[in-house]
């Protein structure tokens, strides 16, 4: 993986563990020579991730919708900052530019990005690993819900393995590197569905 799309919040939660995690991820990816594609903001976890990676000499490509390009929001210190028309174009650029997806804690926008990456993998729009770093138990409920969707039959067994999650970044990255793409829905026959 030469470049990862990193999804995370633009908020700064009260618990400093989340900001420290974003800094650690930015620094670690830069030290490993893995470039970052992210939402292009300078606030919250986004800013902590980007600043840490840049300080460690890493590549950071921001992709931000025009509506969010405000002097106090856009991170103008990125290696590159792409301004796109809307959120749909932003997510498509993440997929085009990255070799995989890594999700850190975040809110509704982060969830939108994560679930679209999973959905697109399931369908066959991409065959890239989708990782989730579960910091301080933040995603325990989401992981349980993903397991519940599979257990009730709304997610096929092969597709239940698309989401790779761990509490340790090194382990998660190793698992993402070893990801074997599943059988995509686009390649299935009606009887398989």
**What residue ranges define each of the domains in the chain, with the CATH number in brackets?**
3-178 (3.40.50.450)
For 104: left if phi > 0, alpha if psi spans -120 to 50, otherwise beta; the answer is beta
What DSSP character marks residue 135?
Answer: G
pLDDT band at 65 (very low <50, low <70, confident <90, very high): very high
What DSSP character marks residue 125?
Answer: S
d(CA 21, CA 135): 7
Count, residues in the chain: 193
- The tokens of 177 are what? 């590197």
Tell whether the torsion through CA atoms of 35, 40, 44 and 47 is positive or negative: positive
pTM for this predicted structure: 0.94
pLDDT in tens, 101-134: 999 999 999 999 999 999 999 999 999 999 999 9
**If residue 119 lies in a helix (H) or strand (E), which one and from where to where?**
helix 108-123
pLDDT of residue 186: 81
pLDDT of residue 103: 98
pLDDT of residue 193: 65
Cβ–Cβ < 8 Å for 29, 36: yes
- The tokens of 35 are what? 């470039």
pLDDT band at 185 (very low <50, low <70, confident <90, very high): confident
């Amino acid at each position: 993986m030469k470049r990862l799309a990193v999804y995370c919040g633009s908020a700064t939660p009260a618990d400093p563990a989340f900001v420290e995690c974003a800094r650690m991820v930015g620094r670690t990816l830069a030290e490993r020579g893995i470039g970052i594609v992210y939402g292009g903001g300078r606030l919250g976890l986004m800013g902590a991730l980007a600043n840490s990676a840049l300080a460690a000499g890493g590549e950071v490509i921001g992709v931000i919708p025009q509506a969010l390009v405000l002097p106090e929001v856009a991170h103008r210190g990125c290696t590159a900052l792409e301004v796109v028309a809307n959120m749909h174009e932003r997510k498509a650029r993440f997929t085009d530019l990255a070799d995989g997806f890594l999700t850190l804690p975040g809110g509704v926008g982060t969830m939108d990005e994560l679930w679209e990456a999973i959905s697109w993998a399931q369908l066959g729009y991409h065959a890239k690993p989708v990782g989730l770093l579960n910091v301080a138990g933040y995603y325990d409920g989401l992981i349980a819900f993903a397991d519940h969707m599979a257990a009730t039959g709304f997610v096929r067994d092969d597709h239940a393995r698309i989401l790779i999650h761990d509490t340790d970044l090194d382990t998660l990255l190793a698992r993402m590197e070893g990801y074997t793409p599943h059988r995509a829905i686009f390649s299935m026959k009606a009887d398989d569905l």
